[in-house]
Amino acid sequence: MIDGLKADFGIKYLCGKLAVSESGYHARRSRPLSDRHRWRWELTARVLGAFVASGRADGYRKIAATLTADGFRINPKTVLRVMRDLGIMPLAARAAYRKAAARARRSPDPDDLLERRFQESIEPGTVLVGDITYVATSEGWLYLATVIDLATRMVLGWATSKRQTAELVVTAMNRARASGHVRAGTIFHSDHGTQYRSKRFASFCARHSIRRSMGKNFQCWDNAIAESFFSKIKNERLRWLRLTSRRHATREISNYIRYFNTRRRHQALGYATPAETMQQLTQPAATAA
């Protein structure tokens, strides 16, 4: 068997999987095998041969079907045991296994602290929402990350980059904090994007007493406010422009956010602007102080 497969796997690998020494393999070539050992070695050789012939893509069921079609009837579970002994699995299954192992190693995602309570009366700076979208330019994609105050709908922080990275969302949150409207212990709600699940962003939020919150997977309505802003900026500004560069797009985004915060009136705010709402909701606190 080793002679037939050594070109594909190598003598050292095959001897290791079959629990025989290389010297034992060379010595045994000159000795006859028992019927039981001969059958086991033939089975292993056929399984390995069928696996290699499939481009290392077939699982134990398909390999059992292949061997049966060739006149070597075998139970699929027996093939599975042989493959496990050899430590081989289909490439797709190997990739899936690695992804599952990576998911098991990572820290659990934050709970949903918001639960779609978008209309409840809340104080500015206590609940923030954010997301990432992409904008087409002549230079390629530009990614935009936002941090929006739920009480006033004001865009407190934003950032753009040609790549989706953890640094993109950290920069947006840092700019939100620089606005002076983010309170200690605030909730930041997002989707399950890798940037928001990254250790870099989690560490940043922990240092600045920001509690992370995430909705359910594949439920865009769990972050509807952030999605709504992206719809507005694209439909009201970016869709009608030919953005010649990422710098051009960033400039237009900046201009729109300034307009959005200070001049655009929102039905949800009683047709006030985010800036007016922020002033109205924070003025009593400022006066009392």
Report the C-alpha gap between 35 and 32 in whole angstroms: 9
Please check the confidence at residue 218 and state whether its pLDDT lies above 50: no
- Are 79 and 135 in the same domain? no
Please check the confidence at residue 6 and state whether its pLDDT lies above 90: no
Report the C-alpha gap between 67 and 73 in whole angstroms: 6
* Residues of the domain holding 21: 2-88
- Are 249 and 135 in the same domain? yes
Please check the confidence at residue 109 and state whether its pLDDT lies above 60: yes
pLDDT at position 9: 57
Please check the confidence at residue 169 and state whether its pLDDT lies above 90: yes
Structure confidence at residue 44 as a pLDDT band (50, 70, 90): confident
Decide which of 88, 117, 141 is a domain's last residue. Answer: 88
Pick the residue with more confidence: 57 or 21?
A: 57
Report the C-alpha gap between 132 and 136 in whole angstroms: 14
Residue 129 structure tokens: 């929402």
CA atoms within 13 A on the CB side of 101: 6
- Are 81 and 140 in the same domain? no
**pLDDT tens-digit readout, 184-213:** 999 999 988 899 999 999 999 999 999 999
- Are 32 and 140 in the same domain? no
Please check the confidence at residue 271 and state whether its pLDDT lies above 70: yes
Residues 198 and 166: beta-carbon distance below 8 Å = yes
Mean pLDDT, residues 205-232 = 80
Calculate the alpha carbon distances from 84 to 61, 193, 219 in Å: 13, 35, 38
Please check the confidence at residue 11 and state whether its pLDDT lies above 80: no
Q: What is the mean pLDDT of the chain?
A: 82
- Are 138 and 75 in the same domain? no
Mean pLDDT, residues 170-188 = 95
The pTM assigned to this predicted structure is 0.63
Instruction: Please report, for the domain that includes residue 247, its CATH number.
Output: 3.30.420.10
Mean pLDDT, residues 176-180 = 96
Mean pLDDT, residues 114-130 = 78
pLDDT at position 25: 53
The tally of domains found in the chain comes to 2
Q: What is the DSSP string of 83-151?
A: HHHHT---HHHHHHHHHHHHHHHSPPPPP-SSTT--SS---TTSEEEEEEEEEEETTEEEEEEEEEETT
Structure confidence at residue 133 as a pLDDT band (50, 70, 90): very high
- Are 81 and 174 in the same domain? no
Q: Which of 164, 74, 119, 125 is nearest to 268 (CA)?
A: 119
- Are 154 and 203 in the same domain? yes
* φ, ψ (nearest 5 deg) of residue 186: -60, 150
Please check the confidence at residue 20 and state whether its pLDDT lies above 90: no
- Asked if residue 140 is part of any domain, the answer here is yes
- Are 131 and 40 in the same domain? no
Residue 74 structure tokens: 């075998």
